[in-house]
Structure formats: C-alpha cells, structure tokens
Structure 1
C-alpha cells in the first residue's frame, strides 16, 4: 500500500506545477572518490530557483564562492562522475545520483547545502535519496512548470560512443553498453522517465567497476571511499558482491540512471527522447551542450500542455489528475 501511495504522489509531482520539498532532508555518508565523510541537507526552495548546491564549508567567502547552480554549463569535470563548478573554482562532484532522484520525482527547486566537495555515494544508486525525499514529502508551488521540447535531432559521436537527443513525446530513454567482460557483455534497455515505476525499475541500480580498474583509480586519487557496500565490483568471471545483482542487467540500468542525472542539468524537464550507446558523463554533457547551443533545436513550452491526457499507471493504479 505504501508503495502505491508513493507512486500516486509521483504522478502528481511529475504532471504539472513546480515542486519542492516539504521540509529539509538530512543525508550523511562517504564520498565515493574522495573518501571524505559528508554532511548534506536538502532544503525547500522557492519557485524558479532551480537546484543550487551551496558549499557550507565555504560560505564565509560569499555566495559567489559557495553557490553552484546545477546547470549543464557549470559542468567542470566528467572523470568517472559529473562535477559542477563556479567561476571562483568551487566544485561539487558526483551530483548525478542526486540529480536523477530530483528529476524522477519532479523536484524543480531545492537548495543543497553540503560541507564538502562530493555528494555522498550512499549505496551507489539513487534509492536512498528517493526514500528520504519521499519520506519528507513534496510540495506544490504556485508557479507553472516549463519544459524544453526538442525540435530536431542533435547527435554527438566519438568513435563507438554516441549520445543523441531527439524529438518525441514525454521523455523516453534508450541505452546500450558493450563491455569486454563475460559478466557484463552487451546490454540494452529502454524506459520512460515519466513512468511512476521508473524509480524502482532504474534508480535502484548501483554504480559498478571492473576489479582490474580499481588500482588505476586509486593511483589517480579516485575511489577512496569505494567498497562492496556502495558499488558492484566485477571480476573477469564473477560478481564479487555476496548479495549479487539487484537486476540481471543492473549495469545498463545504472548507466541510464547516470544519463538521467546528467541530463537533469538542463535546468528544465526535457520533452523528447535520449539515446546513448557506450556513452558516459562526458558524452551526456556534450550532447546537452550541443542541444542548447542550437537555438533552432529546442523551444520552451508549458509542461502541463505536453502532458495531457493525465499520465497512466500500470496494473492496479489509475491515472490521477493534478489537484
């Protein structure tokens, strides 16, 4: 019953008005790459504020030092995660899992106070973010939600890597991966971000790495906080985590999770379709920058008008109109 209620709330949240949190959400955890203990608080924010990260360890320097808009043109690095930064050189990395949770729940406005340079990894997915946010509750704001409708195909390619943003209804995603590893191999998946079951289907998928890559990451000063508690580790022939996988194709599902978080840096919901093939954070940001650089490729629209009739739900759940 509780899961049904949560999904009903998601239908309302992703349908029409701008949304924020009812009350602050406290999250503590370790940074995947830094290994630092991080304290983070998600605060409600007013309409049209968007998502803003604030480094509380740097507030003495003023907002121009401490504040970073969660925006595609503030992406500062895409090495194994997405980091955003400002003109003062302040950064926050590994924002994609939290941004994916905001996007899937339809949260347009929030202030993220964080006392370090990396978002906690938690279990390596977006699941705990979603649970804590939904427990706090979502609040409708007295302001219409706008969206970016994709008008023509925008494609970026780099060898075998490809990322595309295409016209379409709602926001559907397709992703495929191909690893030279017998456990992972070739996987592909298609999903709809506006499906209220998207969180269970996609956002529970954990980050992963190959065992032979771990030492290289350590040598680069990364993955200091990584463990079997927050990542799936794959050897040549086996999964090293005792509990195994959450899904048979958890690897491609997590890559789709990353794409949702990276694309949420558009600042507004996207209306169209995303396709990724062997793409990562860099390609996701490149295709978003390419879209926004071509003013003929998109338009700002009223989100409500792009989502009628009301979103339907699977099984025993009926579509619920906005209040």
Structure 2
C-alpha cells in the first residue's frame, strides 16, 4: 500500500472544548513524505507532528512551537490515522482544534468528503519488536509485539454509570468508524467549576461531551455505546500514538492510561531503537492492506 493524502481541501468551523473560542479549520493535501503538520495561519507558525512538539498533556494533548500552541489534537488525529492519511496540513486560525460533538465521527465525515488519494511512496509502519511500558502506580500503558494492530483498554471509575469497563479493539478503518468514532469525551459536573477556574472546559456542553452528576448521565439521549467511556479512551490513545508519525503494528494495552502516559510511551519507544523496526508496507502487504479498508 502507498502513502495517502486528501483528494481536495475541506473546511469546518466550530469551537474549542477547553478555551471555548471559535476556530476555522482547513485540511489540505500535502505531497508524499511530508508528514502531518499543524499551521496556525493567525500567527504564521508551522508545528510538525512529533513527540518533541508536545508541551502539555493536562486534559488534552497540546503541541507548540515558539510559544504558539495547538490544543486538543487527539480526536482529529485519531480519525486521520484511522483513515490511513500520511501527509496532511491542518490549518487553524486559533489555538484549539474544533471539538465537534466530542467524538471523532465529524472528522471522519470531513475526511470522506475530501476523499483519500493514494500517492507514489510506499507506506511505512513501525513494528513493535519487544514489550515496552510506562507506569504510574497501578496505571500503565504498554506496547507488545503482535501481528495485528490492537488497542486493549481497561478503566475503573467509582461511578454508577461507568464502574469497570474493558474493550479490545482490532484496528481497521471500518471497525474504527463502527466501534470507536462515535464515542464522546466525558466529564463530571462536580469538576466543571474547578476546570473552568484553570481555563479548561470553557467550551464544554451537553452537545460535545457526556456529562455526569453523582447519580448518572445528564445527556438526554444517553450513551451511544454500552462501553462508550472506555471506547473514547481508545479513541484518544489512537490519536496520541499517532504522534509517532507512522502507523503502529503491535498491541497497545492499558489500564487507566492518559494523555501524559501515552506521550511518555511514545518518547520511551523512540529512545529505545531495539524495541521497534521501521518496515515498508509492501513487506507485509496482506497484514496491513486490510487495516485501511476503503470507505
């Protein structure tokens, strides 16, 4: 399989989840071997997608260059990665990606509107060769060798609507759209005042997040999936791991993982070159051609 970009540019206007400011986003094709870049056209700053660009992981993944930030990139990147897009320019006129409805399904629709174009260079992947892990007490994120790309996630919240949830996701574009993309971010009503005092969740509402009080869910329509909370954690993890800049072949396993732990895992992996190898997709065409099914 070859590298991919968009067939045409597409635009959307929305608000940021944490800053609550209006933002216009334009997705533009890039030539092969360009990678993924964020461009703040209000300040003229280009930020390449790589672990070194990450400056904050509090409630969202934030990248920056020369003091100019782009926040809450993980939902968009989750969709971009899951549609097999290697080369892309994401143009923003403010510091946060639009939150849409709190999931990634809106981004999936935007990518389908643009269309996917195959390019000339072979797609490369990063194959995990030996286990690698980052821990924080009982919380952990781990990568293990596997012939498939798998995300296996567990969470526990002492809340009647969540409790213990587990989900094992076998990656493909089709599976992503059906099983993961509609899972929304979530938060607790009792924490909203504190978050807003820290300049976070200023754009949050029942239209773009699952909101929980002490007893249950405030959203009138309820949940989209039985395990929507842990499925959203997988959505986040796919986006965070895309900062590797290359598709991953292996098993991602986590208990109570976070943006912070995911970032530390990408840094640790890239610092230990015996833990992985870079392969051209042509070497294992049958394994990975299935993963990026055409929608």
Q: TM-score, normalised to structure 1's length?
A: 0.88
1:223 aligns with 2:201: yes
1:137 aligns with 2:122: no
1:36 — aligned with what? 21
Distance of aligned partners of 1:133 and 1:297 in 2 relative to their CA distance in 1, 3 Å threshold:
same
1:162 aligns with 2:162: no
Q: Tell me which of 18, 35, 57 is aligned to 2:42.
A: 57
Deviation at 1:89, TM superposition (A): 1.6
2:9 — aligned with what? 24
1:105 — aligned with what? 83
1:5 — aligned with what? none
Deviation digits for residues 34-56 of structure 1, max 9, x if unmatched? Answer: 00000010000000111100000
Q: Tell me which of 89, 93, 98 is aligned to 1:115.
A: 93
Partner SS state of residue 24, structure 2: strand
| 1:183 and 1:236 in contact (8 A); partners too | no
Deviation at 1:135, TM superposition (A): 1.6
Deviation at 1:194, TM superposition (A): 2.4
* Unpaired runs of at least 5, structure 2: none
Distance of aligned partners of 1:219 and 1:242 in 2 relative to their CA distance in 1, 3 Å threshold:
same
1:251 — aligned with what? 229
1:147 — aligned with what? 125
Alpha-carbon separation, structure 1, partners of 2:35 and 2:289: 24
Deviation at 1:310, TM superposition (A): 7.0
| 1:171 and 1:272 in contact (8 A); partners too | yes
1:266 aligns with 2:244: yes
| 1:99 and 1:264 in contact (8 A); partners too | yes
1:213 aligns with 2:195: no
1:188 — aligned with what? 166
- Superposed CA RMSD in Å reads 1.6
How many residues are matched? 294
Partner SS state of residue 99, structure 1: helix
Alpha-carbon separation, structure 2, partners of 1:216 and 1:23: 42
Alpha-carbon separation, structure 1, partners of 2:104 and 2:282: 26
Alpha-carbon separation, structure 2, partners of 1:84 and 1:256: 20
Partner SS state of residue 126, structure 2: strand
| 1:170 and 1:194 in contact (8 A); partners too | no
2:52 — aligned with what? 73
Alpha-carbon separation, structure 2, partners of 1:114 and 1:301: 33
| 1:170 and 1:307 in contact (8 A); partners too | no
Deviation at 1:197, TM superposition (A): 2.0
1:200 — aligned with what? 178
Partner SS state of residue 103, structure 1: helix
* Unpaired runs of at least 5, structure 1: 1-15, 60-65, 314-318
Deviation at 1:320, TM superposition (A): 7.6
Alpha-carbon separation, structure 1, partners of 2:146 and 2:53: 27
